[in-house]
């Protein structure tokens, strides 16, 4: 099931793009970049709803009525939950809208990782699996083995640049940095000390760069290329909608005051 | 808040675990390599090389004694006439090592570690030199003490197959669709022939040229001067090394069809014999029988007319080429109940071997 729905189409798409590009050196890296752009375009509406959902949740945290019910029903969790649901319903907010795109990312990341390793076929067994994965229309005899070189990297291996005998994980640093920049730009400031959403976003802003940096450090650098391009496109998308909070990058973000609905 | 934090961390952990579980590099997995002399079988399998006593199927030694997560052995070990067992690692560390076949102890004071890539192919020992193909695209040339004897020859694509020699020249296939004819005295490439597809198997040496199967689903005949022609085709990729027996060329493909070609006339001796599954392993000819191992986990003995003499089902999947040791045929199934099984020429099982965990 996973194989048929995720791995097979992703691997074939990657191979197809690679074939179109002329399957020379650096082309598989370029294929991953184009693949990422395609995935971003496909999930654009989902990401847009995430931005919208996160903004709505953030604004809600600064809302007078919301803050009032937090205080009023602080000791009655059940009633508080009922009131919160009522407000969500009244204002047309889906509290899970901001989580969905993140959840969608996971199968894509895992599928892409498996597709990259399968396409690059490091062992005869991998190559045999690849033979079973490709669709009949692919000109696979011509394009395999794939050229895994991209710039200074071997896309099938974790990346590092040797400097004075030490392996500097450049890509892992860039992945962590771009993830941090993206989360900072999309993190609205809040004046409410009990603002759970802001705390959650802040937490994501710490954990995600570390986690993705760790992925980049340990896994095929092809996945790091995906992370970096995906982050940059995410920033571009936010910027295009005029929601990017550039002041957050330099610690100058001003919290918005609580407002009465 | 606590629930959300827990959910977030759990999601990230889950992602990390799934990615870790499906990690393809360091090299994920491959089938075993198998070689044998009259007394012992030598099997590379994941983290270890096992030596198995052919008489009783018991383990003689394993290398290394404890698993080292940076070493992986996928290539077929090679026995040399001066009593060495050669193999390179395909793990994150990739030393090329020499073992004493009797004890499993390392022979060289220092292993060769000059290659950048993993060792998927076995070396060829020719004229007191070791020709070791690496996935970094170089053919390394070492002396019998593991020291670099000459500058490595850059061939291009990853090298997965053992070089062959006609006694004068070397023939090496590379995954970038080429067969290279090399003059070992000069250390230069004489000819490079495009095969039209990757060739993971070694060339078979014939009377006046070599025969190579490839993913172009063809068998090409190549002469030392570079003249070449497609002499026959198959329905799917040809993975293993073709086998020459007199005037007959045996080969098989991923459709599971076994072919027998009369080299002189260029005609097929029989109509597609199709045992029971894709064939990746090279075929083996012993006496009057042709042995075929299939991905479906079956092992067949065919007579010269392509009729099945007997069939055994070791189980798992068989990708490793069978080998002969004395009177026994050894088969190494992958992901099976046991790692090695020995049959006599009548198909009677002599023993099985399963490494201790």
ipTM for the whole complex? 0.89
Contacts of A212 in chain B (CB under 8 A): none
Q: A41 vs A34, which has greater pLDDT?
A: A34
Percentage of the residues of chain B whose pLDDT score is greater than 70: 92
Q: According to DSSP H, which parts of A121-220 are helical? A: 124-133, 140-143, 170-185, 196-218
- The single residue listed with the structure tokens 């675990």 is B17
| pLDDT value for B20 | 46
Pick the range with the lowest mean pLDDT from A58-67, A84-93, B117-126: A58-67
| Cα A166 versus chain centre, distance | 29
Q: What confidence tier does B320 reach under pLDDT thresholds 50, 70, 90?
A: very high
Q: Residue A156 — very low, low, confident or very high, per pLDDT cuts 50/70/90?
A: confident
A197-218: pLDDT as tens digits: 566 667 777 888 898 899 888 8
Q: Is A205 helix (H, G, I), strand (E, B) or coil?
A: helix
Per-domain residue ranges of chain A: 2-250
Span B24-53, mean pLDDT?
87
| Span of A142-146, B130-134, B208-212 with lowest mean pLDDT | A142-146
How far apart are the C-alpha atoms of A224 and A113, rounded to whole Å? Answer: 10
Cβ–Cβ gap B200/A145 under 8 Å: no
pLDDT tens digits for B227-265?
999 999 999 999 999 999 999 999 999 999 999 999 999
Residues of A with CB under 8 A from a CB of B: 102-103, 106, 109-110, 113-114, 116-118, 120, 122-128, 131, 141-142, 144-145, 156-158, 196, 199-200, 203-204, 207-208, 211, 214-215, 218-220
Paired sense of beta strands B248-252 and B258-262, if any: antiparallel
- Which residue of A199, A211, A220 is in closest CB contact with B24? A220
Is the pLDDT reported for residue A119 higher than 90? Answer: no
Q: What is the mean pLDDT of residues A41-46?
A: 82
pLDDT on residue B18: 53
SS3 at position B233: strand
CB neighbour burial string for A36-67, b if at least 16 within 10 angstroms, e if fewer: beebbeebeeebeebbbbbebbbbbbbbebbb
Token couple for B293: 């191992």
Residue A197, pLDDT score = 59
Per-residue pLDDT tens over the stretch A224-258: 999 999 889 988 887 887 766 677 776 655 554 44
Whether A39 contacts A107, CB under 8 Å:
no
The values of phi and psi at residue B178, to 5°, are -110, 155
The pairing of strands B96-99 and B188-194 is unpaired
Total residues belonging to chain A: 261
Mean pLDDT of B327-356: 96
Which tokens in the block code for residue A77?
A: 């969790």
Q: Do A120 and B24 touch (CB under 8 A)?
A: yes
* Residues 141-170 of chain B whose Cβ lies under 8 A from any Cβ of chain A: 157-158, 160
Name the more confident of A185 and B229.
Answer: B229
Instruction: Calculate mean pLDDT across residues B65-93.
Output: 94
pLDDT at residue A49 above 50?
yes
Per-residue pLDDT, B15? 59
Residue A9, min C-alpha distance to chain B (Å): 18
Q: Which of B1, B25, B120 minimises the CB distance to A157?
A: B25
pLDDT of residue B10: 65
How would DSSP label each residue in B77-124?
Answer: PEE-TTS-EEEE--SSS--EEEE-TTT--B-SSS-B---SS---S--E
Residue A11 three-state SS = helix
Q: For residue A145, list chain B residues with Cβ-Cβ distance below 8 A.
A: 157-158, 175-176, 198
Integer Cα distance of B15 and B9 in angstroms: 10
B308 touches chain A (CB under 8 A): no
- Whether residue A165 has pLDDT greater than 80: no
Structure tokens given for B133: 């193909």
Domains and CATH numbers, chain B: 28-154 (2.40.128.630)
- Suggest the residue from A10, A105, A125 to mutate for an interface test with chain B (most B CBs closer than 10 A): A125
Q: Encode pLDDT of B173-221 as tens digits.
A: 999 999 999 999 999 999 999 999 999 999 999 998 999 999 999 999 9
């Amino acid at each position: 099931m996973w194989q048929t729905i995720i791995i097979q189409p992703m691997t074939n798409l990657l191979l197809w793009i690679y074939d179109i590009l002329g399957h020379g050196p650096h082309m598989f890296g370029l294929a991953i970049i184009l693949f990422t752009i395609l995935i971003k375009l496909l999930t654009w509406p989902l990401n847009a709803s995430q931005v919208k959902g996160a903004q709505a949740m953030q604004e809600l945290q600064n809302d007078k009525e919301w803050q009032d019910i937090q205080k009023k029903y602080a000791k009655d969790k059940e009633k508080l939950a009922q009131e919160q649901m009522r407000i969500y319903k009244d204002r047309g907010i889906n509290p899970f809208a901001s989580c969905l795109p993140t959840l969608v990312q996971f199968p894509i990341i895992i599928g892409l990782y498996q597709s990259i390793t399968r396409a690059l076929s490091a062992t005869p067994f991998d190559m045999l699996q690849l033979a079973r994965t490709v669709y009949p229309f692919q000109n696979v005899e011509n394009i395999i083995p794939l050229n895994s070189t991209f710039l200074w990297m071997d896309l099938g291996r974790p990346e590092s640049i040797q400097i004075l005998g030490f392996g500097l994980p450049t890509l892992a640093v860039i992945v962590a940095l771009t993830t941090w920049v993206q989360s900072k730009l999309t993190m609205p400031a809040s004046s409410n000390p009990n603002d759970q959403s802001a705390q959650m976003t802040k937490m994501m802003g710490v954990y995600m760069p570390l986690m993705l940096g760790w992925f980049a450090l340990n896994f095929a650098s092809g996945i790091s290329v995906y992370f970096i391009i995906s982050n940059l496109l995410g920033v571009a998308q936010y910027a295009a909608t005029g929601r990017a909070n550039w002041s957050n990058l330099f610690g100058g973000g001003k919290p918005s005051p609580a407002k009465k609905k | 808040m606590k629930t959300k934090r827990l959910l977030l961390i759990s999601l990230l952990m889950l992602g990390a675990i799934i990615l870790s579980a499906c990690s393809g590099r360091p090299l994920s997995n491959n089938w075993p390599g198998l070689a044998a002399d009259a007394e012992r079988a030598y099997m590379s399998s994941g983290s270890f090389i096992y030596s198995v006593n052919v008489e009783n199927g018991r383990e003689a030694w394993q290398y290394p004694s404890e698993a080292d997560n940076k070493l992986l052995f996928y290539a077929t070990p090679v026995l040399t006439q001066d009593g060495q067992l050669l193999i390179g690692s395909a793990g994150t560390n990739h030393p090329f090592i020499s073992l004493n076949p009797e004890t499993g102890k390392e022979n060289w004071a220092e292993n060769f570690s000059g290659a950048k890539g993993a060792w998927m192919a076995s070396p060829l020992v020719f004229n007191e030199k070791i020709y070791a193909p690496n996935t970094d695209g170089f053919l390394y040339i070492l002396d019998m003490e593991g020291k670099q004897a000459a500058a490595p020859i850059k061939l291009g694509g990853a090298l997965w197959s053992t070089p062959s020699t006609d006694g004068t020249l070397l023939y090496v296939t590379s995954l970038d669709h080429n067969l290279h004819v090399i003059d070992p005295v000069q250390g230069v490439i004489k000819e490079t022939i495009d095969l039209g597809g990757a060739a993971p198997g070694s060339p078979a040496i014939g009377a006046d040229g070599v025969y190579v199967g490839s993913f172009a689903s063809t068998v090409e005949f190549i002469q030392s001067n570079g003249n070449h022609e497609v002499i026959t085709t198959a329905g799917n990729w040809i993975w293993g090394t073709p086998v020459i027996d007199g005037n007959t060329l045996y080969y098989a493909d991923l459709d599971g069809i076994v072919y027998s070609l009369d080299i002189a006339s260029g005609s097929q001796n029989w109509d597609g014999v199709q045992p029971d599954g894709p064939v990746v392993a090279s075929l083996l000819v012993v006496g009057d029988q042709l042995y075929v191992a299939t991905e479906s986990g079956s092992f067949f003995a065919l007579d010269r007319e392509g009729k099945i003499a007997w069939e055994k089902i070791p189980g798992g999947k068989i990708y490793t080429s069978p080998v002969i040791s004395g009177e026994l045929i050894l088969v190494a199934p992958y992901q099976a109940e046991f790692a090695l099984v020995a049959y006599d020429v009548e198909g009677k099982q002599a023993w099985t071997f399963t490494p201790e965990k």
